[in-house]
Amino acid sequence: MLIINFMIILIMFIGLMCTLAPRLYGTVIILVAAGIYAVIIGVSVFPLWVAVSLLMLTLMAEVVINGLRIFMTRHCEVSRIYSINTTVCNLAGIVVADALLGALIGITLWELLVGKTLFPRFNSISKVLVRLILAAVLRLICGLIMTIIVVKYMMYT
């Protein structure tokens, strides 16, 4: 039973990490892990309010918060994908330039040659990123609540 509990908690942890990505359904993974655990221990001991709570949190995270994310970023000057790609590629370029040329020369050369394309749209990009981070944190909170409910009320009662 200890191995089963460990595997279910591991699956829920993977689902919790997936809630941070907008295209991955982390709360659904947590819900499925709870369902698998309920089938293993017997559905008759599975409290109904836990199932309803998990289902409502999953719907809230996947439908409401994703809709909120789209609503918050729909009138921005730059797209969500452009904002994420620009930031990630700029940071990765800085790391590679630092590794190849050294810290001082690498970051100076990178910012002089490539970084200037990021600065004109930095305000627009930062607005989109803050809104995306807010939606990701809300999904993470829903996933964390789901994980706590499963661990506390299913595994240790």
> Where in the chain are the domains?
2-155
Average pLDDT, the chain: 82
Digit-coded pLDDT (tens) for 53-109: 999 999 999 888 888 888 887 877 777 677 677 777 777 777 777 777 777 777 677
Token look-up 């908690």 returns: 9
Per-residue confidence (pLDDT) for residue 145, from 0 to 100: 94
**In whole angstroms, what is the distance from residue 4 CA to residue 7 CA?**
5
Contact 93, 148 (CB under 8 A): no
Encode pLDDT of 66-75 as tens digits: 888 888 878 7
Q: Looking at residue 33, what is its pLDDT?
A: 93
Residue 38's nearest CA partner among 155, 157, 117, 127 is: 155
pTM: predicted TM-score of the whole model, two decimal places: 0.75
Q: How far is CA 131 from CA 4, 66, 76, 98, 138, in A?
A: 38, 11, 10, 30, 11
